[in-house]
Amino acid sequence: MFTDRTEGGRQLADTVSERGIDADMMLAIPRGGLPVGQAVADRLGVPLDIVAARKLGAPSNPELAIGSVASDGTVWLNDSLIENLGVDEAYVEATIERERGVAREKTERYRGGRPPLELAGKTALLVDDGIATGATTIACIRQLQNADAERVIVAVPVAPPETVERLREEADDVVCVETPAYFGAVGAFYRSFEQVTDEEAMAHLQLDE
């Protein structure tokens, strides 16, 4: 169990360093990924930016992800689940458009008008405070790949083994401090897991000054 997100980030930085991974930049998924990403970025001495995505919820259960969309419009769809649930194309398209707008607005607000980091030919470390299913993470990975990042490495303090294996199919590598067999929720592995406010998250980017 991690004390809080910052301590989780420090342990993650240890693991990244032990693996001998060199990254050019840190991309954190807001909001909870920013305290973790800051700790790792500080250790590696690389710049910190964000990448945002939104879950596409099923019609009858908004918490069930039928896919995800990143702020640049990159989409991942769970086609088998969509087919099994009988979700029509019009619902999927409308949900993509709505959630893409939310992700884009968040990204622009957090950056405060600053352009994104240049990813072409770079190794990007994609960081969050933990991953449960990996749905939104996949859209983030694909966005970074579409921006011509040479390598995309996912790095998190905690995730279940099956999610780590799933993400290995998308990213160039996955670094995870703890992979517990029983996984209820990310917050269960932190003693302090209070919600990170927008103001606290933006402070890590030093864009609110």
Q: What is the pLDDT of residue 202?
A: 87
Question: Is 5's pLDDT higher than 90?
Answer: yes
DSSP structural state of residue 193 = -
Instruction: Please state the pTM of the whole predicted model.
Output: 0.92
Average pLDDT rounded to a whole number, residues 194-204:
88
Q: Could you name the CATH architecture of 54-110?
A: 2-Layer Sandwich (3.30)
**Per-domain boundaries in the chain:** 5-51+122-205, 54-110
Read off the pLDDT of residues 25-73 as tens digits, 9 standing for 90 and up: 999 999 999 999 999 999 999 999 999 999 999 998 999 999 999 999 9
Task: State the DSSP H helix or E strand holding residue 9, giving kind and residue range, or none if neither.
Answer: helix 5-18
Whether cis (ω within 30° of 0) applies to the bond prior to 31 is yes
C-alpha distances (whole Å) from 48 to each of 32, 41, 175 are: 14, 6, 18
**DSSP 3-state of 172:** coil
User: Is the alpha carbon torsion for 11, 15, 18, 24 positive or negative?
Assistant: negative
Cβ neighbours of 166 (radius 10 Å): 18
pLDDT in tens, 123-178: 999 999 999 999 999 999 999 999 999 999 999 999 999 999 999 999 999 999 99
In this prediction, residue 153 carries a pLDDT of 98
Topology, domain 5-51+122-205: Rossmann fold (3.40.50)
Q: What is the DSSP string of 107-171?
A: HHHHHTTPPPPP-BT-EEEEE-S--SS-HHHHHHHHHHHHTTBSEEEEEEEE--HHHHHHHHTTS
Instruction: Give the other-Cβ count within 10 Å of 13's Cβ.
Output: 20
